[in-house]
């Protein structure tokens, strides 16, 4: 009797299976990707989020993980690996560039020595436990990205990874249509496919159009050029380098993450930087502005980034001046729009010319749009379709496309993370749900920021806090002296003296009028003080009474 095949996207209720996904056949488990998510604006103080793999911890499942496949080198697919590897001791299967980028990360976490890597390349066909893996090349905004066909005794499933169909990619290596068609010809039980841009009509433009836009900017710019992009967008960095060499500009690279990524990509042969092209920032200072181009981080407007500090005049070495041309070569991650706009406005304010999407075609997405999705579905012609890598709205949009190309709605599984899709004798169904969710990483702590703490931060962020300390003689019950009121984030203390004296009175009067003690008394003080403050200000700071006896 054949065992069941189970597919389980792991993580919270955000982008399904984007960051981590488990494929099981019988007791054997394969993990695909182990990435981080970035917190939303109201996840206050959180650095990043990793999936909760509670399910894999249970019932000794971790021991049955035969391998971890990483499809490409972006943070949302690799960033949680250091945390996973501490608990799950399984070999990592990935391509050369992805491995190089992961090794940087594991070194920082002091996990490099104990990790077993198997370097694979597109076209490889390997066996891991009961899984026969066939890797195929996909285009994405980083080189050496792959998708994978997974043959099990229960059938063949195809996982696209992040992809687009770029006919003229910068590295000359398009998505492997032939392999997808060949897999399709064999009969695919289920397709798991990237839904990021499933809401976007048409076809995502080729990475190549960016080079034409860069060429025009470089040809016309009189002063310095600054290009902001993601540190991992290796092919974009290649394009800047190519055009810089064409127009005799020296390339300056700033920022630790970008420098490190470039070093690895160049060492492994994924970046071709002509001899003498790259110079240090000090050297660039001795060149004319028209002889330089700077690559910087900060395309999301992150306040600590090089670009943001340049825009506010706070960068130690480089300012922005009239005559500079700044290119923002990245899309806005939802939630970052305000910060990006602010940075653009500030750069304009300092006299720079700023080019960004949609003002100029200086960025294209790395993800397939609707027409490409239809092509993928028609190439693979799966029996079942599981849209992944997207919020529910994107999965829904992707499912609509699948229906258009003839996949019956009942054969499409739109699930959230934690749901189990099970295939039994060629028949698919949703068979249950496993525990899981998100784990917040904040400072050095993993997972100890509870919903309570976040809720407190939210209250504090809105109206601040008021701590009222009152001393009471434990024998006579008399209030000693005046209460001490400490407040931050509520009112500007120096201009709110009357309000705070009133608050002291409210505390004293409540303590005097009540013979209670302990929590009862504290609650009464809290209520009286909260009420007084709301009446006076229409705000609700967090109120914390302290009674010392």
Residue 538 interacts with a copy of itself (CB under 8 A): yes or no: yes
Alpha-carbon distance of 211 to 82, in angstroms, equals 35
How many other C-beta atoms lie within 10 A of the C-beta of residue 65? 22
Cβ at position 287, least distance to a copy of itself in Å: 28
Binding mask 454-493 for a copy of itself (x = CB under 8 A): --xxxxxxxxxx-x-x-x------------x-x-xxxxx-
CA distances (Å), origin 336, targets 19, 97, 332, 353, 484: 20, 28, 6, 21, 40
For a copy of itself, give the closer residue by CB, 137 or 309: 309
Q: Restricting to residues 320-339, which ones interact with a copy of itself according to CB under 8 A? A: 334-335, 337-338
Residue 45 interacts with a copy of itself (CB under 8 A): yes or no: yes
Sheet holding 438-442, edge to edge: 48-51, 438-442, 445-446
Scanning 20-28, 268-276, 294-302, 386-394 for contacts with a copy of itself by CB under 8 A, the matching segment is 386-394
Q: Is 215 a catalytic residue?
A: no
Find the radius of gyration of the CA atoms of the chain. 28
Cβ at position 81, least distance to a copy of itself in Å: 20
Residue 349 interacts with a copy of itself (CB under 8 A): yes or no: yes
Residue 393 interacts with a copy of itself (CB under 8 A): yes or no: yes
For a copy of itself, give the closer residue by CB, 375 or 469: 469
Kindly tell me the burial class for residue 292, based on how many C-beta atoms sit within 10 Å of its own C-beta (0-12, 13-18, 19 or more): buried
Omega cis (within 30) before 352: no
Residue 116 carries which DSSP code? -
Binding mask 76-115 for a copy of itself (x = CB under 8 A): ----------------------------------------
Cβ at position 245, least distance to a copy of itself in Å: 29
Q: How many residues bind a copy of itself (CB under 8 A)?
A: 68
Q: Is 389 a catalytic residue?
A: no
33, 194, 324, 463: the active-site residue: 194
Binding mask 280-319 for a copy of itself (x = CB under 8 A): ----------------------------------------
Alpha-carbon distance of 176 to 166, in angstroms, equals 10
- Tell which one of 96, 396, 522, 524 touches a copy of itself (CB under 8 A): 396
Structure tokens at 453: 């703490």
Q: Restricting to residues 185-214, which ones interact with a copy of itself according to CB under 8 A? A: 199-201
Cβ at position 293, least distance to a copy of itself in Å: 22
Give the SS3 label for residue 373. Answer: helix
Show the 3-state SS of 237-299: HHHHHHHHHHCCCEEEECCHHHHHHHHHHHHCCCCCCCCCCEECHHHHCCCCHHHEEEEECCC
Cβ at position 539, least distance to a copy of itself in Å: 4
DSSP labels for 19-54?
SEEEEEETTEEEEEEE--BPPPTTSTT--EEEE--H
Question: Closest Cα to residue 98, out of 88, 90, 106?
Answer: 106
For a copy of itself, give the closer residue by CB, 378 or 461: 461
Structure tokens at 498: 């009357």
Place of tokens 């054949």: 2
For a copy of itself, give the closer residue by CB, 172 or 201: 201
Residue 548 interacts with a copy of itself (CB under 8 A): yes or no: yes
Sheet holding 155-159, edge to edge: 125-128, 131-137, 146-152, 155-159, 190-194, 384-388
72, 367, 373, 389: the active-site residue: 367
Active-site residues, by number, are: 194, 367
Where along the sequence are the contacts to a copy of itself (CB under 8 A)? Answer: 13, 40-42, 44-45, 199-201, 334-335, 337-338, 341-342, 344-345, 348-349, 354, 356, 358-359, 391-393, 396-397, 416, 442-445, 448-450, 452-453, 456-465, 467, 469, 471, 484, 486, 488-492, 495-496, 536-539, 542, 544, 546, 548
């Amino acid at each position: 009797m054949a065992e069941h095949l189970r597919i389980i996207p792991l993580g919270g209720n955000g982008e399904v299976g984007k960051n981590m996904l488990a494929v099981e056949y019988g007791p054997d488990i394969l993990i695909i990707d182990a990435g981080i998510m970035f917190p939303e604006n109201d996840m206050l103080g959180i650095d990043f989020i990793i999936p909760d793999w509670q399910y894999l911890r249970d019932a000794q499942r971790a021991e049955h993980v035969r391998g971890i496949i990483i499809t490409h080198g972006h943070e949302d697919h690799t960033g949680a690996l250091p945390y996973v590897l501490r608990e799950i001791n399984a070999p990592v299967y990935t391509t050369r560039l992805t491995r190089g980028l992961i090794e940087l990360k594991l070194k920082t976490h002091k996990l490099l020595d104990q990790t077993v890597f198997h370097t694979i390349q597109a076209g490889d066909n390997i066996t891991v436990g009961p899984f026969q893996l066939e890797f195929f090349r996909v285009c994405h905004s980083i080189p050496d990205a792959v998708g994978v066909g997974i043959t099990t005794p229960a059938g063949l499933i195809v996982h696209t990874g992040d992809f687009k169909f770029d006919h003229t990619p910068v590295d000359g290596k398009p998505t492997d249509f032939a392999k997808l068609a060949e897999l399709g010809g064999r009969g695919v039980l289920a397709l798991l496919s990237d839904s990021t841009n499933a809401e976007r009509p048409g076809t995502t433009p080729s990475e190549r159009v960016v080079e034409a836009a860069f060429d025009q900017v470089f040809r016309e710019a009189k002063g310095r050029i600054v290009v902001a992009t993601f540190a991992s967008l290796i092919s974009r960095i290649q394009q800047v380098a190519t055009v810089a060499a064409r127009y005799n500009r020296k390339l300056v690279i700033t920022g630790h993450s970008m420098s490190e990524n470039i070093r690895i990509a160049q060492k492994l042969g994924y970046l071709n930087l002509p001899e003498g092209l790259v110079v240090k920032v000090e050297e660039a200072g001795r060149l004319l502005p028209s002889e330089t181009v700077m690559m910087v981080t900060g395309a999301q407007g992150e306040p600590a980034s090089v670009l943001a500090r340049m825009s506010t005049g706070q960068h130690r070495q480089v300012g922005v001046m009239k005559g500079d041309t700044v290119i923002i070569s990245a899309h806005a991650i939802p939630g970052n729009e305000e910060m990006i706009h602010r940075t653009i406005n500030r750069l304009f304010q300092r006299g720079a010319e700023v080019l960004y999407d949609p003002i100029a075609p200086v960025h294209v997405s790395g993800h397939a749009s609707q027409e490409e999705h239809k092509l993928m579905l028609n190439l693979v012609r799966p029996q079942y379709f599981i849209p992944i890598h997207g919020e529910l709205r994107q999965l829904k949009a992707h499912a609509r496309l699948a229906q258009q190309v003839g996949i019956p709605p009942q054969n499409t599984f739109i699930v959230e993370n934690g749901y189990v899709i099970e295939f039994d004798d060629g028949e698919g169904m949703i068979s249950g749900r496993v525990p899981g969710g998100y784990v917040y990483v904040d400072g050095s702590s993993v997972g100890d920021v509870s919903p309570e703490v976040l809720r407190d931060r939210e209250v504090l962020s809105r109206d601040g806090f008021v701590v009222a300390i009152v001393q009471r003689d434990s024998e006579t019950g008399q209030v000693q002296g005046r209460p001490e009121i400490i407040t931050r984030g509520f009112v500007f203390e120096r201009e709110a003296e009357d309000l705070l004296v009133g608050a002291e009175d409210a505390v004293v009067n409540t303590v005097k009028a009540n013979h209670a003690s302990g929590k009862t008394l504290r609650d009464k003080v809290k209520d009286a003080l909260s009420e007084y403050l709301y009446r006076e200000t229409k705000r609700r700071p967090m109120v914390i009474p302290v009674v010392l006896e």
